[in-house]
Structure 1
Amino acid sequence: MSLEKLKDWIGRTQSMEDLAAPFPVRALSATFDEKGDPDPKNGDPLPPLWHWLYFLEVAPQSKIGPDGHAERGDFLPPVALPRRMWAGSRFSFHGEPIRVGDTIHRLSEIKSVEPKSGSTGSMVFVTVRHTISGPRGTSFVEEHDIVYREAAKPGEAAKPPRPAPADATWTRTVLADPVLLFRFSALTFNGHRIHYDQPYVTGVEGYPGLIVHGPLMGILQIELARRCNPGKVVRSFEFRALSPVFGGAALGVHGRREQDGSITTWIADPTGGLAQQGKATFQ
């Protein structure tokens, strides 16, 4: 399908409703090994980005594409490029937080469809705007960037990432083993095979190993920032992917306090390369 036809998807909307049940919160806290967290109860505020535990895509098994995602062409445009990854997100928190036990709503809109070219060939970026609300009105707005890429070429080697900063104020080390990747995929009902299917990710998509989820690394960054700033309220957060991280080894989650009070966050891969970078502001 031509790019101009793909742009017909701009402005399409999708509305979903869900219940912010406590079990997914308990399960993600256990997955992150947060032993000190109390059991969630109705009325507790949902941590930033943990809404990804809800509004899960439930395509019938017969409508799953070869990569494990739902077939394209319904809400998301049918981009023909085979490789799909989370490129980044931006959040603006300007209302009351979602609380455990709330009935919650998400209104999604295709904001843009843009072609680009890079060292590995053609790409298409699709940006989706999500407005999340609950019983107390709109809670926050998220913009999610998805990138579609060409198939890997024979012998293609990934460009090495630039070195990650070495001046973190806080650091946490997380073992991104296959069990962590599986649990996060299960909690978010994410069937994308790059996160759990070793023969597929190496033999079909051409990567050297299982890929750590972009949103998993995004949550780890904002979790570090908010837990190191108790009593503060997150007002904005953004992150973007710079280089893939492959499972089976420890990754570094880092944060640095800036002079204006914001927190710069980043993920360092096992070789010390900069894989993802973000920024959080507080009130």
Structure 2
Amino acid sequence: MTDGTPPAVFTEIAEHWRPAPAVAEEVLPPWPAAALAALLGADPPAEDGGALPPLWHEVYLRDRPRIADLGEDGHPSGGPLLPPIPRRRRMFGGGRIIVHAPLRIGERVRRTSAVRSVRVRHGSSGWLLLVTERHVFEAGGRLRVEDERDIVYRMPGDVRGAGAGAGVVRVGVGDESATGTASAAEAPAPILRLDADERLLMLVSALTYNPHRIHYDRDYATRVEGHPGLVVHGPLLAFEGIEAARRIDGRYPDRVDYRLTAAAHPGAPVDFAAAPADGPGDGPIRTEPGSVRIGGRQGGRLCIRVDAAWDGAAGAGAGAVSPPE
């Protein structure tokens, strides 16, 4: 394999792998949302019909693989939406959410999950297989939430570096290098600050049934996947970016577009602040009146970019969100 030729398994999957949709259903009990609220330092939704903020469905309808079914990295060896790649390396790249109406505690919710697109790209860390998943949440016979997320898969040989001195692995879709840095003088005042330590990472992994070892196994994270330390969960960064948007407007947004641009690690805070809505890759949400861009930075490095909008297409009953091309 050379830089000009993607792995044969990536090409085969991009051309032919189209798994059947997977369906899950359950009544939403109050305790997962209450546990998440405790981790985030937020007020929990009311136990009887309380509305879930955007992305809080992350703690519900979780797959529960057996230990015997987990691979080397902690993820399941196989599953409905997992591409058949031996010893694959998986990272969360970002996603898009539309809230037509919030999910509520006590409702029976049906989630239908499917693969929307599969693409092969070459980035600074080698060849990437980009899988966009689409998750549709329905309750009471109505479409409530659409959640698309971009998952980045790499071959084991393309995970470069080892040990505590290894460089940051960028996980944004397209593996672009536009992580950005800002000096203390240039950075705007933070709206909120995330101080993630090993205790928080362990509890988030447990609450979301996420067995990926980069979040709790330091030796694996550094020696096998080449991170300089444990990795803060992408959804945890997204939770905080959405909360920062709420603090600006006073309401949770109807639509969110978030992208992880660099890994964040315990040991230094991630500051979330309003950011200019211009620059490479801007799209529809970022140009709408009433929208806001939030940047989450660790030591001046941009780790996540969150774009949020209110009273837009979601309020008008818009259709599916679309991934970036």
Q: TM-score, normalised by structure 1?
A: 0.90
SS across alignment from 2:191: strand
Q: 2:241 aligns to what?
A: 221
Q: 1:278 aligns to what?
A: 306
Q: Is the 8 A contact 2:45 2:51 kept in 1?
A: no
Q: Is the 8 A contact 2:294 2:305 kept in 1?
A: yes
* Aligned counterparts, 1:38-77, within 5 A: 40-72=46-78, 74-77=80-83
Q: TM-score, normalised by structure 2?
A: 0.79
The residue type equivalent to 1:6 in the other structure is I
CA 115–208 in structure 1, closer or farther in 2 if over 3 Å, else same: same
In structure 1, C-alpha distance between the alignment counterparts of 2:257 and 2:140, rounded to whole Å: 25
Q: State which drifts further: 214-223 or 132-141.
A: 132-141
User: Are positions 1:83 and 2:89 aligned together?
Assistant: yes
SS across alignment from 2:12: helix
Q: 1:178 aligns to what?
A: 198
Q: 1:157 aligns to what?
A: 167
Q: 1:29 aligns to what?
A: 37
Residue 257 of structure 1: how far off its partner (Å): 8.6
User: Are positions 1:261 and 2:290 aligned together?
Assistant: yes
Q: 1:124 aligns to what?
A: 129
Deviations 1:33-54 (A, max 9, x none): 23xx256311111111000011
Residue 260 (structure 2) aligned to one of 237, 241, 247: 241
Residue 145 (structure 2) aligned to one of 131, 140, 144: 140
Residue 139 of structure 1: how far off its partner (Å): 0.5
In structure 1, C-alpha distance between the alignment counterparts of 2:182 and 2:110, rounded to whole Å: 37
Residue 221 (structure 2) aligned to one of 177, 196, 201: 201
Residue 189 of structure 1: how far off its partner (Å): 0.6
Residue 228 of structure 1: how far off its partner (Å): 3.3
Residue 157 of structure 1: how far off its partner (Å): 3.1
Residue 229 of structure 1: how far off its partner (Å): 2.1
SS across alignment from 1:146: strand
Q: Is the 8 A contact 2:19 2:80 kept in 1?
A: no
Any gaps of 5 or more consecutive residues in structure 2?
Answer: 1-7, 170-176, 278-287, 312-325
Any gaps of 5 or more consecutive residues in structure 1?
Answer: none
SS across alignment from 1:70: coil
Q: 1:17 aligns to what?
A: 25
Q: Is the 8 A contact 1:15 1:108 kept in 2?
A: yes
SS across alignment from 1:65: coil
Task: Give RMSD over aligned pairs.
Answer: 2.3
In structure 2, C-alpha distance between the alignment counterparts of 1:136 and 1:164, rounded to whole Å: 47
Deviations 1:191-236 (A, max 9, x none): 0000000111111111110000111101111112123322x45221
Q: 1:3 aligns to what?
A: 10
Q: Is the 8 A contact 2:160 2:225 kept in 1?
A: no
CA 18–248 in structure 1, closer or farther in 2 if over 3 Å, else same: farther
SS across alignment from 2:64: coil
Deviations 1:41-77 (A, max 9, x none): 1111111100001111111211111111111354321
Q: 2:270 aligns to what?
A: 251
Q: Is the 8 A contact 1:57 1:189 kept in 2?
A: yes
Residue 9 of structure 1: how far off its partner (Å): 2.7
Residue 138 of structure 1: how far off its partner (Å): 0.6
Q: Is the 8 A contact 2:130 2:152 kept in 1?
A: yes
Q: Is the 8 A contact 1:221 1:255 kept in 2?
A: no
Residue 150 of structure 1: how far off its partner (Å): 3.5
Deviations 1:102-126 (A, max 9, x none): 1111101111111111122111101
* Aligned counterparts, 1:102-121, within 5 A: 102-121=107-126
SS across alignment from 1:245: coil
The residue type equivalent to 1:282 in the other structure is W
Q: Comparing both structures, which one devotes a greater share of its residues to strand?
A: 1
